[in-house]
A and B are shown apart, each in its own frame.
Chain A
């Protein structure tokens, strides 16, 4: 069910409709090609040998027997890849360190988690490659391991890096630890703030690592030619980033690698990095043949990028009237075997929806013997929100205030402060709260063992680099290309924005995703940036093309270009004084292109800023079985400020999808490790994502408070919806049972234990 709150007088012809997407028919007929669907003649199959140990020194790797197996064409280890310097590169929040990255692709000194890639084999069949793996002899010195974040921070914890000195602490510690970094944000005076509060609540929380859970395992096909030119077909969230990382890891020039964007079967952040691509390219280079790799489901769980597990303490103080006067959050995140958990995001987003004069957030980025975390939909924010939104619920109950009204009282708007410095630039949060207050079901009474929970969330959303090109075909149809991978229907949104800007029907715009050799740089499809930033590039390209079309018309009419206007898809004379000319369609102008200047093309590029953040407020009704601890979701309503829904059905789908991931995270999803630090549930049987019978219909409410920095008012929609659900469910369980759960997931044994604890 869809409820739109429109804040606009504009009437659009294309934007705001929900037509069939360009890649729709290929996807419902099985023609669309994902990463594993490509083949080339003479192709080899590659398999990767992975560490069976959570932590071990690699004394030696002997590949001779594997190399000798008939059908094996090459064996790869880290010795085949160049050494890269230790350096954190790029903005702090998203910094990359290639010294770490190359070791995650293929281990060097140590195996740092069970599943860590050690070597790879390319052979004529997958079965031979698999057998060859069994012939690779690795001499491991097994070391004690540590998984849990609190245990990893302990001074006596086994160290992953004997030289890791915590950054962000002055003076620097003298002894190494597993704490890669400490960070802190602060405004105001929290001691004074808490002293002025009428009620203060402090609670601690723990969350287990969870995986993005995309259904498609990582896959790619690489063909490296004897001339050093390589083509790579890969499903990823950003083929330009794949190109950059792969070239760097192999010591290649970027221009020698062309990456073709395969369709992607889900990413949610987890496919913004590389795992198999550098291995496939290196093996293709070594063998002179195309090489295909497809990760198994087990390897996806063991060796890609689940998000952090955490240990958190959050303290908030309020006045009797619900004003929040102080907030303090401590966030300890384990980022896996290499630094880079999203704790900085968590520390920034935690209290971001609220005007609080005194705030401190402290974060620790901790390494532990599990796979390196990668982005997962608003990375970090859902985790800290679980803690903050739970504490706010406890406070709302203490002061006897409706939890939505308490949020509304403290809601940020344009000009409100943030803990990290700059002021909020956009309204929209309050409107999401209001949408729920106005919802007919919000005040509906519930029955026995039932409860209703409320939560909100914030996500920065991204801008960044995108490019778009437009060609007007000889018959006046339009080819629109961008370099933004399409994970959820963005080709349609780009076409809608182009159709609207050009004034032509959606059906006349062919929207494609171009490879890295055919368009300018596009950053990842992630951070909820594409409809915003790539949309800006598309609109700019359309505006450029309109200028060109006006110029061509002016030549055709032999008038000054100032006498030509573009209206509803036609070049028209600005007024009767210019001349009595019939309007010219794209088709008519294209027909004369040879004599007016040749092909009608343009490319535009942006480094977009001015994006608006995502705000979402949600309520959830649950029923808890008091004898088993089973939690049933009865109703889930999620309001999100989307700025403007370009394609309303796809927008809605983002909200529904993010909410359901959040429900899984709340109730059943977790990484379960055995005593040897090995993953006990590396499959969809025991890593339990929600199934269709677990859920009711998820109601998405798209609130539209347009972003003035985008021609159509777009705000990124993909991520903010996953931030509130865990707290919404926890708060609902509390209202249903009287028990506050502070550990995720809130699986039946935990809920039952809480109920039975009396």
Chain B
């Protein structure tokens, strides 16, 4: 099978890769680029663990073809912190114990950041509905919601 040569930007860095036409972006990230921070929970867009942003748009990378990354800008969990400085959401997730096993956490962080970029003062209900596409089985969502609301508060105050 002949592969497509794709040029893209991931977390601000230029990246090139080869992929088959039918490979998902998730597959490319994890298995060709070794960026395993983005997780596969279902492969069908039902769990949100594979969330990334594509040109600033929150998407499931299992529902995007690798070839569609051509010329686009992708943000994954690996780019969320700034060196040793964690993003406020990452900090709040840790402080609020918003992760137990942590497998859903990268997806939630990417999704929550996308929310706060659009809506810096969400209500609890707005947070819950925005994050409905991210499944968590460990926490019952409580501390995730608290962490996001607290992060929003800090970002507004800062």
Q: Say whether A692 contacts B34, CB under 8 Å.
A: no
Query: A146–B101 Cα gap in the complex (Å)?
Result: 36
Query: A691–B140 Cα gap in the complex (Å)?
Result: 9
Query: A683–B41 Cα gap in the complex (Å)?
Result: 10
Q: Please tell me which one of the listed residues B40, B78, B81, B137 contacts residue A266 in the complex, with CB atoms under 8 A apart.
A: B137
Chain A CB within 8 A of B43 CB = yes
Given contacts A24-B99, A487-B100, A653-B138, contact A29 B132 (CB under 8 A): no
Q: Which residues from A are CB-within-8-Å of B21?
A: none
Given contacts A27-B105, A489-B100, A684-B42, contact A214 B135 (CB under 8 A): no
Chain A CB within 8 A of B61 CB = no
Q: Say whether A265 contacts B97, CB under 8 Å.
A: no
Q: Which residues from B are CB-within-8-Å of A18?
A: 97
Contacts A487-B100, A660-B140 given; 6 further ones with Cβ under 8 A?
A28-B109, A30-B80, A31-B37, A37-B30, A649-B96, A691-B133
Query: A609–B31 Cα gap in the complex (Å)?
Result: 45
Chain B CB within 8 A of A709 CB = no
Q: Say whether A657 contacts B144, CB under 8 Å.
A: no
> How big is chain A's contact interface, by range?
35 or more
Q: Say whether B131 contacts A692, CB under 8 Å.
A: yes
Chain A CB within 8 A of B56 CB = no
Q: Say whether A215 contacts B36, CB under 8 Å.
A: no
Q: Which residues from A are CB-within-8-Å of B86?
A: 25, 28-29
**Residue-wise interface mask of A (643-687) relative to B, using a CB-CB cutoff of 8 A (1 in contact, 0 not):** 000010110111011111100000000000000000000011100
Chain A CB within 8 A of B25 CB = no
Query: A27–B99 Cα gap in the complex (Å)?
Result: 8
Q: Say whether B140 contacts A217, CB under 8 Å.
A: no
Chain B CB within 8 A of A488 CB = yes
Most central of A36, A214, A657 by chain B CB within 10 Å: A657
Query: A37–B30 Cα gap in the complex (Å)?
Result: 8
Q: Say whether A656 contacts B94, CB under 8 Å.
A: no
Given contacts A649-B96, A649-B143, contact A265 B134 (CB under 8 A): no
The residue on B at minimum CB distance from A33 is B36
Q: Say whether B42 contacts A216, CB under 8 Å.
A: no
Query: A20–B31 Cα gap in the complex (Å)?
Result: 31
**Segment from A386-394, A457-465, A466-474, A693-701 that makes contact with B:** A693-701
Q: Give how many A-B residue pairs fall within 8 Å (CB-CB).
A: 180
**Residue-wise interface mask of B (78-90) relative to A, using a CB-CB cutoff of 8 A (1 in contact, 0 not):** 1011000010001
Q: Which residues from B are CB-within-8-Å of A660?
A: 139-141
Chain A CB within 8 A of B106 CB = yes
Given contacts A28-B86, A657-B139, contact A692 B101 (CB under 8 A): no
Most central of A39, A127, A652, A684 by chain B CB within 10 Å: A684
Q: Which residues from B are CB-within-8-Å of A215?
A: 39, 41, 47, 49, 101, 103-104, 135-137
Given contacts A37-B36, A268-B137, A691-B135, contact A216 B101 (CB under 8 A): yes
Chain A CB within 8 A of B38 CB = yes
Chain A CB within 8 A of B77 CB = yes
Q: Please tell me which one of the listed residues A21, A126, A265, A683 contacts residue B39 in the complex, with CB atoms under 8 A apart.
A: A265
Q: Please tell me which one of the listed residues A20, A25, A697 contacts residue B145 in the complex, with CB atoms under 8 A apart.
A: A697
CB distance from B148 to the nearest CB of A (A): 10
CB distance from A397 to the nearest CB of B (A): 29
Chain A CB within 8 A of B44 CB = yes
Q: Please tell me which one of the listed residues A24, A39, A216, A297 contacts residue B43 in the complex, with CB atoms under 8 A apart.
A: A297
Query: A652–B96 Cα gap in the complex (Å)?
Result: 11
Q: List 21 A-B contacts (CB under 8 A).
A: A24-B94, A28-B94, A28-B99, A30-B35, A30-B37, A34-B103, A37-B30, A127-B20, A214-B101, A216-B39, A263-B101, A266-B138, A488-B101, A650-B97, A653-B140, A656-B140, A658-B140, A661-B140, A691-B132, A691-B133, A697-B145
CB distance from B63 to the nearest CB of A (A): 13
Query: A647–B49 Cα gap in the complex (Å)?
Result: 27
CB distance from B117 to the nearest CB of A (A): 18
**Residue-wise interface mask of A (622-638) relative to B, using a CB-CB cutoff of 8 A (1 in contact, 0 not):** 00000000000000000
